[in-house]
């Protein structure tokens, strides 16, 4: 990560993501029933698959929004909208899922499209947190989350050593 705005790294393993998403499903199960689930691609695909299984949802759709790559954020663009059935009544009864709400750019775009849907994320940062109805884990704004699909095993510098290098 080359952006100096991110001072902390938070690597998430497949097991952690699965455990956190299951915890999210426990909260969401009490709020249903749901008409279906809408994954915000690409980050929301894996959590949506886990939630669809845990909540026994068979109707799964996607909304494709691009707002950043592995190094920087940019203007959010809708690449694919949801099915017309999900747009009825502003998305009421639908569950929108993403891996993370960061600055809230993507969440704002999707909220405008489906203002009555329930937006859930596994992870939330302070700037985007007010846009989310349900989340599991909050991390600081200056933390970059490395999801399991973005990383491969490598040496990790101990925190004390990294702090010495920064001074």
Average pLDDT over residues 19-38: 97
Contact, 18 vs 50, CB < 8 A?
yes
Q: Is 30 a domain residue?
A: yes
**pLDDT higher than 50, residue 2:** no
Global pTM value: 0.84
The whole-number pLDDT of residue 161 equals 82
Q: Is 1 a domain residue?
A: no
* Structural domain span for residue 128: 12-166
Convert the pLDDT of each residue in 29-65 to its tens digit: 999 899 999 999 999 999 999 999 999 999 999 999 8
Whole-angstrom Cα distance, residue 14 to residue 42? Answer: 16
> The CATH number of the domain where 148 resides is what?
3.40.50.2020
- State how many domains the chain has: 1
The whole-number pLDDT of residue 1 equals 41
Residues designated catalytic? 98-99, 102
100-118 as b/e, with b when 16 or more CB fall inside 10 Å?
Answer: bbbbbbbbebbbebbeebb
The whole-number pLDDT of residue 152 equals 81
The whole-number pLDDT of residue 7 equals 81
Q: Is 32 a domain residue?
A: yes
Q: Cα-atom radius of gyration of the chain, to the nearest Å?
A: 16
pLDDT above 90: percentage of residues in the chain:
74
Average pLDDT over residues 89-93: 96
Contact, 63 vs 38, CB < 8 A?
yes
Confidence of residue 156 (pLDDT cuts 50, 70, 90): confident
Strand, coil or helix: 7? coil
Q: Is 87 a domain residue?
A: yes
**pLDDT higher than 70, residue 5:** no
Whole-angstrom Cα distance, residue 128 to residue 136? Answer: 14
The whole-number pLDDT of residue 97 equals 98
Alpha helices by DSSP H, listed for the chain, are 14-29, 45-54, 84-87, 105-113, 159-166
Distance from chain centroid for Cα 103: 11
């Amino acid at each position: 990560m080359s952006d100096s705005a991110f001072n902390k790294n938070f690597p998430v393993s497949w097991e952690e993501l699965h455990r956190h998403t299951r915890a999210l499903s426990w909260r969401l199960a009490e709020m249903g029933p749901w008409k279906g689930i809408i994954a915000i691609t690409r980050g929301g695909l894996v959590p949506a698959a886990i939630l669809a299984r845990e909540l026994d949802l068979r109707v799964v759709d996607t909304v494709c929004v691009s707002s950043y790559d592995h190094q920087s954020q940019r203007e959010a663009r809708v690449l694919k909208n949801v099915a017309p059935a999900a747009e009825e009544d502003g998305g009421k009864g639908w569950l929108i899922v993403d891996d993370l709400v960061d600055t809230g750019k993507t969440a704002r775009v999707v909220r405008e499209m489906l203002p009555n849907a329930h937006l859930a994320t596994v992870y939330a940062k302070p700037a985007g947190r007010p846009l989310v109805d349900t989340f599991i884990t909050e991390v600081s704004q200056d933390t970059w989350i490395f999801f399991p699909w973005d990383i491969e095993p490598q040496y990790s510098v101990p925190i004390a050593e990294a702090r010495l290098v920064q001074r």
